[in-house]
Amino acid sequence: MASPVTRSLIVLLFVGAATGPVRSQQAGAVVSPEIMADNRATFRVRAPNAKDVLLALEGTGRIPLVSDGSGVWSVTTPPLQPDYYAYSFIVDGVAIVDPANPVTRPNLLNQQSVVYIPGASPLPWETRPVPRGTIHHHFYRSRVAGDERDFYVYTPPGYDARARKRYPVLYLQHGYSGDARGWLAGGPANVILDNLIADGRAEPMLLVMSLGYGLPNFVRRGDPDLRVLKDNYDRFKEALLTEVIPLVERHYRVATDRNSRAMAGLSMGGAEALYVGLNTLDRFAWVGSFSAGGMLEDYAATFPALSGEANRQLRLLWIACGTDDPLVGANRKFREWLMSQGVDFTAIETPGMHTWMVWRRNLIAFVPLLFKPVSSKR
């Protein structure tokens, strides 16, 4: 008969084995990714019969892996800048997440694994021993979209529903194929805000992250035509203005004047921030777009009332794009149109592609500009 010690362990291990295929206990399990002291990373995957295995690494492109002859493919990168990197393996043409890595970034089209290369000193997106905010996940039935949907609210450290203070709000949108979790998984926006607030670089504020599609199952519909694309944006706008914002303002201690509302987003969410923000300047005084994409390009029809008059209302219009982003041309073109209309803005171009490396740095640069007293208008 096994000793009590042995039996306990058998029982515990059995539990793991019973709930599914436990990867770490598989014969020939690999370690992946493995981070070296000099910031190189080795990626490994078992694929005994594959003929072609690539690593798709965020911000880098595709790198071939080499088989060791026993079924394990691997590649070691050059030293990587400290940051989060999403990646997939592409095994004989099929993209998969890393079977050995439990950390993934959710996405409606292309879930990816995530590896973190830590920095030598705390970086703005790294958890530090500072007061932490809280994330609230709300569920509601959308009359506008006709579905059950959700949004997330970040409340800053010290937020107290019973106190008198009212906070400003940044409405922050994910990109195409993401969902309401996008900025929490990709930023992480809550950690960035915790750190900026702890350092006195940002006003304590709420973040609201809602689902960026006005039509149900928009991503699964496949390629939209222009009419569907516009309908999607219009319903998104209506859901945000008539459902999400009223819910937030009913449940949280937030200021409801236009100087206390900002809107920003990345990629499709950047196009949405421009579309909603610049068309409802009575509601938003601060607008930011990070690598805006999927814009309705008939700008005069998209922003029918926008003119130099907006400069009196806009506290900040901040338009950013990575210089290696294929969308940088479209963003420059939009900025030219704004100039032709006499609308002031801040143009930001930073190194980088259409990646979270760019967007988390955009957020870190953008948030400290928000909700300053009126006297400090740029």
Residue 216: Cβ within 10 Å count: 15
Q: Give me the least distance between CB of 269 and a copy of itself, in Å please.
A: 10
Q: Give me the least distance between CB of 210 and a copy of itself, in Å please.
A: 14
d(CA 375, CA 365): 20
Q: Give me the least distance between CB of 92 and a copy of itself, in Å please.
A: 5
Q: Give me the least distance between CB of 258 and a copy of itself, in Å please.
A: 26
Nearest CB to a copy of itself, comparing residues 164 and 378: 164
Q: Give me the least distance between CB of 127 and a copy of itself, in Å please.
A: 5
Element (H, E) at 346: strand 346-350
State the DSSP code for 19.
T
d(CA 289, CA 346): 11
Q: Give me the least distance between CB of 282 and a copy of itself, in Å please.
A: 27
Element (H, E) at 117: strand 112-117
Query: How many Å separate Cα 143 from the centre of its chain?
Result: 26
Joined tokens for residue 191 = 């950690």
Nearest CB to a copy of itself, comparing residues 120 and 161: 161
d(CA 296, CA 26): 50
Q: Give me the least distance between CB of 348 and a copy of itself, in Å please.
A: 18
Q: Give me the least distance between CB of 48 and a copy of itself, in Å please.
A: 5
Residues whose CB falls within 8 Å of the CB of residue 317, separated by 6 or more in sequence, listed in order: 278, 287, 288, 310, 338, 343, 344, 345, 346
d(CA 118, CA 83): 7
Nearest CB to a copy of itself, comparing residues 15 and 36: 15
SS (H, E, C) 256-320: CCHHHEEEEEECHHHHHHHHHHHHCCCCCCEEEEECCCCCCCCHHHHCCCCCHHHHHCCCEEEEE
* Residue 351, helix vs strand vs coil: coil
Nearest CB to a copy of itself, comparing residues 61 and 79: 61
Terminal alpha carbon distance of the chain? 78
Nearest CB to a copy of itself, comparing residues 132 and 283: 132
Nearest CB to a copy of itself, comparing residues 50 and 285: 50
Q: Give me the least distance between CB of 373 and a copy of itself, in Å please.
A: 29
d(CA 153, CA 170): 10
Whose structure tokens read 């072609």? 52
Amino acid in the structure at residue 36: M
Nearest CB to a copy of itself, comparing residues 176 and 318: 176
Nearest CB to a copy of itself, comparing residues 148 and 344: 148
Query: How many Å separate Cα 123 from the centre of its chain?
Result: 17
Nearest CB to a copy of itself, comparing residues 157 and 368: 157
